[in-house]
Amino acid sequence: MTGLEPVSASGRPPAPCPECTRWRAERARARAAGDRTRAADCVVLLRRHQAAVHLRVVGR
């Protein structure tokens, strides 16, 4: 199979999350272009996405 995988019935995200992959690629692109502001934004957005979607509660 190629492309997007469906979220499993257990509610866990597909292993290579396309959204995470997208933000990491965007961050790498921004860094390559020397755009630190954009790279920092990508990190924030990636973390926000992970907190919202992957919902791994830590330290509680």
According to the binding rule CB under 5 A, does residue 19 interact with Zn ion? yes
At residue 19's C-alpha, the angle toward residues 15 and 22, to 5°, is 110
Q: Which residue lies nearer to Zn ion by CB, 17 or 30?
A: 17
Q: Minimum Å distance from CB 44 to Zn ion? A: 14
Q: Which residue lies nearer to Zn ion by CB, 17 or 42?
A: 17
From 1-9, 10-18, 26-34, 35-43, span contacting Zn ion (CB under 5 A): 10-18
30 contact partners, CB below 8 Å, separation of at least 6:
36, 38, 39, 41, 42
Q: Which residue has the tokens 């990508």?
A: 42
